Amino acid sequence: MFKPLVTSDDIAADMEIELIKSAREDEFVAKRDAALDCLNKAAELFDELGFEKEARVITVLLEKIAG
């Protein structure tokens, strides 16, 4: 009797894994981008207020993460 190597259940399970993986990646990117956006806003504010050291430190951190 013919026995398929890959069943529809296997395919469905693989697709589910891929979907979960993709969703997690999207979530990670969204969280990371939100964090970077917050850092940048903080740096802008410090800069405008004349807190140059603070702005510089955050800029270095942004560069490290971006690099």
Partner 1 sequence: MFKIANVSEELASEMEKYQAEAFSDQTENQYKLAIAYLMDAAEYFDLAGMEKEAHITSLILQKFAAPPEEIITPQIIHDVFDPQRNYDPHKSGPKKIYEVDELIPEEKIKSNYVDPTPAVEPTELPFQLKEEKERFEKPSITKDEAYKLLRKHERMSRFLTGKLQDDARNEYIATILYLKSVLDGRPNPDIYIQYKQKHAPQWAADIIFK
User: Closest separation between CB of residue 40 and partner 1, Å?
Assistant: 6
Touching partner 1, residues 37-56 (CB under 8 A) = 38-51, 53-56
The dihedral formed by the CA atoms of 21, 25, 27 and 30, expressed in degrees to the nearest 10: -170
* Separation CA 23–CA 17 (nearest Å): 10
**Contact status: 28 vs partner 1 (CB under 8 A):** yes
When the beta carbons of 14 and 24 are compared against partner 1, the nearer one is 24
* Separation CA 33–CA 27 (nearest Å): 10
> Which of these segments, 2-10, 11-19, 24-32, binds partner 1 (CB under 8 A)?
24-32
